[in-house]
Structure 1
Amino acid sequence: MKQAKIYTWGYCPYCRKALSLLKKKDISFVEIGIDGDRETFEELSKLTGQRTVPFVFIDDEFIGGYSQLESKLK
């Protein structure tokens, strides 16, 4: 079974949509809230090249944000 890790901001609508999609597809996940944690955000941005949340990883592979997750799970 796939395991997802998703880094989110509490007020981000795309983060909520990504979490909802993972639940709908019955993919277990760990949500890591990074609200106000600029250091972690910058580290993830450097690692992935992405400057927006959510940061979605499935089985330790960076997928992207909500749009990329949605495309991958169709």
Structure 2
Amino acid sequence: MPVVIYTKPHCPYCEKAIDYYKQNGLAFTEYDAQNDAENQRAMLKLSGGDPTVPCFVEDGVYTGSGWGDPPRGCVIIPDSF
């Protein structure tokens, strides 16, 4: 299931999300929603107009925006699974 994360440069929450995905070996594709108008339009369409980043899309479906604890927008699979 491909995960897309829409971000903007120098966003600390975006950086935390990207770091989390990398540290946990989770596959994702990152798109800049600030400096690329096409990516921004796609993100806003998928999120129903929510401009919050990071914005998570899984298999073409918006799953959430922002970054919290636990992380929103991602599936956490326990090691014992």
- Where structure 2 has 5 or more consecutive residues not aligned to the other structure, the ranges are 77-81
For the pair shown, which has the larger CA radius of gyration, 1 or 2? Answer: 2
Identity in percent: 30
The answer (yes or no) to whether the contact 1:56–1:62 under 8 Å persists in 2 is yes
**Is the alpha carbon distance of 1:24 and 1:61 closer, same or farther for their aligned partners in structure 2, counting shifts above 3 Å?**
farther
Cross-structure match for 1:19: 18
The list of structure 1 runs, each at least 4 consecutive aligned residues, that deviate by more than 6 angstroms after superposition, is: none
1:39 deviates by: 5.8
Whichever residue aligns with residue 67 of structure 1, its letter is G
Q: TM-score, normalised by structure 2?
A: 0.65
Q: TM-score, normalised by structure 1?
A: 0.70
Total equivalences in the alignment: 73
1:19 deviates by: 0.5
Distance 2:2 2:51 in 1: 23
Distance 2:7 2:21 in 1: 13
Cross-structure match for 2:46: 47
Whichever residue aligns with residue 61 of structure 2, its letter is E
**Is the alpha carbon distance of 1:47 and 1:62 closer, same or farther for their aligned partners in structure 2, counting shifts above 3 Å?**
closer
More helix by share: 1
Distance 1:45 1:22 in 2: 22
Whichever residue aligns with residue 23 of structure 1, its letter is K
1:60 deviates by: 2.5
Whichever residue aligns with residue 59 of structure 2, its letter is D
More strand by share: 1
Cross-structure match for 2:79: none
